[in-house]
């Protein structure tokens, strides 16, 4: 396992390759979507669960086509496409349940991330230990916030956390674009 942080120049080249001249506009759009999501977390929660449902339904349809092409006759061959389709359809029919489920997934994510933060400093020879522990404590507090307010709190918290993530992703892309642009000489 490679524990070295990625080279900034490599990240820049990859991001520019994928986004090219659209790097800054995409960054600004992410920030704007994030701010809009924080201003209206219920809308962003609903949009997030809608996108998740769409991905599940599309994946289920693709697997169903694949199973048809393979002339699958076993129950196990049809289990994946049926589960993907049914899960996506249930989320469309009951978006509040889907948002509550995403809230539980976020809780699990933050608890796993807390564990990783509490143990990660060992891989770096103790370097950054206080920051890893601080981040782990924040992860536990966020997980507790999701648990304490579940299921209703998920309606707001999912949107807020997705919005904050979009803002930070946009800021990161802006910083990368600034590093990629050579300074103007006077």
Whether residue 169 is contained in a domain is answered as yes
Whether residue 1 is contained in a domain is answered as no
Whether residue 3 is contained in a domain is answered as no
From first to last of its 186 residues, what are the pLDDT tens digits of the chain?
566 766 767 766 776 677 667 888 989 999 999 999 999 999 999 999 999 999 999 999 999 999 999 887 888 788 999 999 999 999 999 999 999 999 999 999 999 999 998 988 787 777 788 888 999 999 999 999 999 999 999 999 999 999 999 999 899 888 877 766 555 655
Quote the domain boundaries for residue 154: 8-45+95-180
| Rounded Cα gap, residues 168 and 2, in angstroms | 25
| Rounded Cα gap, residues 136 and 114, in angstroms | 4
Whether residue 123 is contained in a domain is answered as yes
Whether residue 170 is contained in a domain is answered as yes
**How many domains in the chain?**
1
The encoded tokens of residue 15 equal 């991001």
């Amino acid at each position: 396992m490679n524990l070295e942080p990625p080279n900034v120049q490599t990240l820049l080249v990859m991001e520019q390759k994928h986004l090219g001249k659209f790097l800054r506009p995409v960054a600004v759009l992410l920030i704007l979507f994030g701010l809009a999501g924080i201003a209206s977390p219920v809308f962003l929660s609903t949009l997030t669960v809608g996108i998740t449902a769409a991905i599940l339904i599309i994946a289920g349809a693709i697997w169903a086509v694949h199973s048809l092409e393979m002339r699958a006759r076993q129950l196990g061959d049809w289990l994946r496409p049926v589960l993907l389709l049914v899960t996506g359809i249930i989320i469309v029919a009951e978006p509040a349940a889907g948002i509550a489920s995403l809230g539980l997934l976020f809780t699990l994510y933050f608890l796993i991330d807390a564990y990783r933060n509490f143990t990660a400093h060992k891989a770096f020879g103790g370097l950054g230990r206080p920051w890893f522990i601080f981040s782990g404590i924040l992860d536990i507090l966020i997980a507790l916030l999701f648990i304490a307010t579940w299921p209703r709190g998920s309606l707001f918290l999912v949107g807020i956390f997705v919005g904050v993530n979009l803002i930070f992703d946009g800021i990161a892309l802006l910083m990368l674009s600034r590093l990629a642009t050579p300074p103007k000489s006077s």
